[in-house]
Amino acid sequence: MSHAFLLIVYLGSKIISNDMYFNNIDNCKYFASRFNNQPPVPNRTAGEDEPKTRSYTAVCEPARIGKNQPRYN
């Protein structure tokens, strides 16, 4: 086992990606900030209680992964 940083990407409140691991927090935070600066996405299935747009939110979390788990530098 080794440590890495997991990039988790949400669209609204739904997780759309949680399989990108980085060796270094700075690289993970770079990609998280790129997602966080995207414009809102139209919500085509919006009901009365849901917003008409959804935004991307990305966060980096420390994670323990196997030595053979692919990761980005």
Q: Token pair of 15, please?
A: 């997780």
| Burial bucket for residue 58 (CB in 10 Å: 0-12, 13-18, 19+) | buried
Domain borders along the chain are 2-45+53-65
The share of the chain scoring above pLDDT 70, in percent, equals 96
pTM for this entry: 0.87
pLDDT computed for residue 55 by the predictor: 95
Indicate if the pLDDT at residue 47 is higher than 80.
no
pLDDT computed for residue 45 by the predictor: 75
Q: Please give the average per-residue pLDDT across 28-50, as a whole number.
A: 88
pLDDT computed for residue 46 by the predictor: 65
Indicate if the pLDDT at residue 4 is higher than 80.
yes
pLDDT computed for residue 50 by the predictor: 73
